[in-house]
Structures are given as C-alpha cells and as structure tokens.
Copies of this chain bind each other. A is one copy, B any other.
C-alpha cells in the first residue's frame, strides 16, 4: 500500500491500524508520486488523508482522486498526537533544538512557550526529522512526530502528548482501482456501521441548482455529512461539490443517486463504504 510521507509517518500508522502490521507499505515523497505508484505497479492500494479537524480538507488528494480511476473502499480516523522524540540517553533538560514540520511545531506552541531555551528547527517531514536526529545521534537534538516514528527509528519519547489541542483527527481513505476484484481489501465494518458514500458533482452557477441536487437525498432519508465546493479551473462560473452522505442501506443511496443524476451536469460516485467512528478508530 502506497502512502505519502517517510516510513514512520502518521499515514503509515493509519495503514497499520486499518489493515494490520503485516501490510507492506510503499512510502512516496509527494501525493502525486503516491497516486502514480498504482498505475506504475509499485502498489495495489493507496491510503490518503482527505481531511484534518484543525487544517481542513486535503484539496490535492481530492484533485488527484478525480483524475484517477481509483475508488474508496474504506475510511479510518486517526487521532494525531505529537511526541517529543530524542536519542537513547537524551534528557529534556539537555536539549537545545527541536525539529519538525512547521505545522507540527505550530501545534505545540504551549510546549515551546514553556521551554524558551529550545530552538525550533523547521523540517520537511515529521517522521523524517526523527530519522535525522537518530542518524546524527546528537543528544541535544530532538524531533516532534507520532509514536510510530519513535519505534521505527529507535528513538525515546522525552515528553508525551505535547500538542496544544487534543481534538486533532485526520481522516484517511483506502483507495483501490475500479473493478470487481476488491475482496482482498475489504475492511470488516464495525457492528451496525451505517453506509457512507462519497461523491463529486458539477452544477451550473445559478440560484437553486445545489438545492435541486440535494433534494433527492433528503427525500430518500440520506443524511448529508460533509459538503464542500471548489471552483473548477478554467470554468469561472461552474463549481464542483464534494459530498459525503450516509444512509441506512445501499438501496436508499442508489435511488437518491439515480434521481440526482437528472439534475447535475456530472455526478461521480467516489465510493460506498462502512462509516468509521472517531474515537473507536482513534489510537
């Protein structure tokens, strides 16, 4: 399974939680390269983050998904928790610098306010910053990343859960090529998990067009979970909408989709899969 990031990244942790430690992971430095890993034959599936509770949607992943022939077969929600990771023998009081991706550094503001003596060192990757600290073996340097990165590179946790906000969740989706042969990647749903469907639709820019597209879902008892509009490049007055909906049964979803097709200029089902619950899946 391909993912974006270095070995030990949050995406790798999510893949292991979803499908077990036996899975073989294929790390790629960019989302574009991770998506290319499937047509290139380097991977059979892809785990990609689609939204974070603090940072919002991962717009690039939605764009790449639309350009691909992949579909969503499962989702998982990972609790993002930042750890301060150093070399064996290092201590918090002996530290002089802390490296990580600027977003991770910014999410640990309170820790840095309490430790003004620590120099913040920006890096291109959270897990990669742990790898570098351990490779150099410097006891005065540490890095911020998830627990998995500490295990992966043999680091020790010098301070636990140093993030400011504990409500930091990332939602990942498991993507495989279109086609019938997907039994291998089927994920066991939680008991009585409702069915979730992700779709992309295109509408004309006129009053009431979104209303007409949403009406069939309400009529068939399908709940709207998430909606997001995105301008379409090169078509100034048209918009693409990404929707996540939830329904009691596949038949409700299918009936609503058929009715909505009649009032949209384009409608693509990105996948139907069992809903994950934050907390249940959080680690």
Spot the interface stretch: A86-94, A134-142, A148-156, A215-223. A215-223
Query: Considering the chains assembled together, what is the distance between the CA atoms of A123 and B121 in angstroms?
Result: 8
Distance from A124 Cβ to chain B, minimum over Cβ atoms (Å): 5
Instruction: Identify A122's interface contact among B55, B124, B233, CB under 8 A.
Output: B124
Spot the interface stretch: A34-42, A176-184, A187-195, A202-210. A202-210
Spot the interface stretch: A11-19, A100-108, A262-270. A100-108
- Interface-centre pick from A53, A122, A205, A215 (highest chain B CB count, 10 A): A122
Question: Using Cβ atoms and an 8 Å threshold, which residues of chain B touch A105?
Answer: 124
Is A259 at the interface (CB under 8 A from chain B)? no
Q: Hey, which bits of chain A sit against chain B, CB under 8 A?
A: 30, 53-60, 101-102, 105-106, 109, 120, 122-124, 167, 205-208, 210-211, 214-215, 217-218, 221-229, 231, 233, 241
Contact yes or no, B205 A211, CB < 8 A: no
Question: Using Cβ atoms and an 8 Å threshold, which residues of chain B touch A233?
Answer: 167
Contact yes or no, A215 B207, CB < 8 A: no
A30-B109, A54-B60, A105-B124 given as contacts; is B207 within 8 A of A223 (CB)?
yes
Instruction: Identify A227's interface contact among B57, B58, B229, CB under 8 A.
Output: B229
Query: Considering the chains assembled together, what is the distance between the CA atoms of A233 and B278 in angstroms?
Result: 12
Residue of B nearest to A243 (CB): B229
Residue of B nearest to A100 (CB): B122
Question: Using Cβ atoms and an 8 Å threshold, which residues of chain B touch A120?
Answer: 124
Question: Using Cβ atoms and an 8 Å threshold, which residues of chain B touch A55?
Answer: 59-60
Question: Using Cβ atoms and an 8 Å threshold, which residues of chain B touch A102?
Answer: 101-102, 122, 124
Question: Using Cβ atoms and an 8 Å threshold, which residues of chain B touch A221?
Answer: 207
Residue of B nearest to A226 (CB): B229
Query: Considering the chains assembled together, what is the distance between the CA atoms of A30 and B214 in angstroms?
Result: 38
Query: Considering the chains assembled together, what is the distance between the CA atoms of A250 and B139 in angstroms?
Result: 63
Query: Considering the chains assembled together, what is the distance between the CA atoms of A101 and B105 in angstroms?
Result: 13
Distance from A67 Cβ to chain B, minimum over Cβ atoms (Å): 14
Residue of B nearest to A106 (CB): B30
Question: Using Cβ atoms and an 8 Å threshold, which residues of chain B touch A124?
Answer: 102, 105, 120, 122
Distance from A138 Cβ to chain B, minimum over Cβ atoms (Å): 18
Distance from A97 Cβ to chain B, minimum over Cβ atoms (Å): 13
Query: Considering the chains assembled together, what is the distance between the CA atoms of A97 and B183 in angstroms?
Result: 48
Query: Considering the chains assembled together, what is the distance between the CA atoms of A221 and B227 in angstroms?
Result: 22
Distance from A217 Cβ to chain B, minimum over Cβ atoms (Å): 7
